[in-house]
Amino acid sequence: MIIIRGLTRKLPEGKTILDGIDLRLDPGTFIAVAGASGSGKSALLRCLALRDRWTSGQYVADGNDILKAGWAAKLKFRRQIAFLEQKPALLEKKSALKNVLIGNAEQTPLWRRITGMVRSDDYMGGMDMLEKVGLMDHAHRQVEKMSGGERQRVAIARALVHGARILLADEPVSGLDPHSSEALMATLKKLCEERGTIVVAALHRIELAEKFADEIWGLKDGRLIVQVQGRRLTAAEKNRLA
């Protein structure tokens, strides 16, 4: 369980990006973050991923305030977090399986990323994870030949095989067709249910949040103004987020 208390982020010139946000993240929960452009969705995910500095607040994981922990504890916690951007950074010339096994810069040594060498006993784990995201038949296909939705699923498999227990996805369905969008959302939902992964996804499309999320967080001007269990939002709630 993760508790966020009073998360505030201000820019050096004084502009407030996130304003006193309180949250709770439970294992196995799929959370959708909704809000208009500039509402603070990406900033929230970046702060949860410890990519952006907090101005103030508490980030309590397993009873410990991560923000007050030493660098080693912060690094250990960061390795449990996967931050998925709209266009995941993958090794274009390598296969889906190689991308999953090699990992990203924070997960693996530089020599392994350059050489592409992996341990033989990791092979089956990578294949199992690709199967979970529906890509086992494409394991040996080069990433550069894959669709946007397939690339996102490669990034998800990569994160999970290297031990991520929190997935933070910034507009993961941006640019995807409706069928691919639904398939990706179903994959994330399944990971929550089967692996207990915490998924927090910033979504511009409210209908996907309503259909797949266990909780919906709504932001406006950096403030949390809607926090409900997954359901259809009322017209009043949607107007507040516009």
Question: pLDDT tens digits, residue range 91-144?
Answer: 899 999 988 887 654 555 555 555 555 555 577 778 888 888 888 899 999 999
pLDDT score for 102: 79
Strand-by-strand arrangement of the 16-25 sheet:
16-25, 2-10, 56-61, 64-65
pLDDT score for 121: 57
Instruction: Pick the range with the lowest mean pLDDT from 84-88, 107-111, 160-164.
Output: 107-111
**Arithmetic mean of pLDDT over the chain:** 88
pLDDT score for 139: 93
Joined tokens for residue 62: 């397993």
User: Which stretch, 86-90, 151-155, 197-201, has highest mean pLDDT?
Assistant: 197-201
pLDDT at 146 over 90: yes
Joined tokens for residue 128: 């199992």
% pLDDT > 90, the chain: 56
Question: Distance between CA 116 and CA 112 in Å, rounded?
Answer: 5
Joined tokens for residue 82: 């996967």
pLDDT score for 187: 87
> What three-state secondary structure class fits 228?
strand
Q: How confident is the model at residue 89 (pLDDT cuts 50, 70, 90)?
A: confident
The reported pTM is: 0.84
What's the per-residue H, E or C state across 27-70? CCCEEEEECCCCCCHHHHHHHHCCCCCCCEEEEEECCEEHHHCC
Each residue's pLDDT tens digit, 27-85: 999 999 999 999 999 999 999 999 999 999 999 998 999 999 998 889 889 888 988 88
Amino acid at 183: A
213 or 130: which leads in pLDDT: 213
- Give the CA angle between residues 150, 144, 162 to the nearest 5°: 60
pLDDT score for 131: 87
pLDDT at 238 over 90: yes
pLDDT at 232 over 80: yes
- Sequential DSSP letters for 105-144: TTTS-HHHHHH----GGGHHHHHHHHHHTT-GGGTTSBGG
Angstrom distances, CA of residue 130 to CA of 81, 139, 140, 168? 19, 7, 11, 19
Question: What is the average pLDDT across 192-218?
Answer: 94
Question: Distance between CA 227 and CA 215 in Å, rounded?
Answer: 7
Exposed, middle or buried, 3 (CB in 10 Å: 0-12/13-18/19+)?
Answer: middle
Q: Kindly report the backbone phi and psi dihedral angles of residue 240, in degrees, each rounded to the nearest multiple of 5, phi listed first.
A: -65, -30
160 or 139: which leads in pLDDT: 139
pLDDT score for 210: 96
